[in-house]
Amino acid sequence: MSSRYEGMTAKDADDLMVGIIGLLVSEAMEEARAMTQEEWDVRDSAYLPHYFASAIFYTVQNRLRDAP
């Protein structure tokens, strides 16, 4: 199994990692913006911070594990 970072320079791999995190954040923000006030009010307030923290953690861990 090849790494998505395979063959990249460290700078290119870092740029890709930042881009992946940016896409995850954009996707979550788009979902939040599409919610009604009622949906937002009943949403678990810890969900988004936990989602962002987990996504960033795993993205960084994958980057470190597959570092060029």
Which mean pLDDT values do the consecutive 10-residue runs of the chain (68 residues) have?
80 91 90 89 82 88 80
Indicate whether 2 belongs to any domain. no
Indicate whether 17 belongs to any domain. yes
Whole-number pLDDT of residue 55: 87
Within a 10 A sphere around the Cβ of 58, how many other Cβ atoms?
A: 12
User: pTM of the prediction?
Assistant: 0.73
Indicate whether 36 belongs to any domain. yes
Q: Which domain holds residue 51?
A: 10-66
Asked if 59 and 24 count as a contact pair (C-beta separation under 8 A), the reply is yes
Whole-number pLDDT of residue 30: 92
Name the domain count of the chain: 1
Whole-number pLDDT of residue 68: 63
Whole-number pLDDT of residue 65: 84
Whole-number pLDDT of residue 2: 65
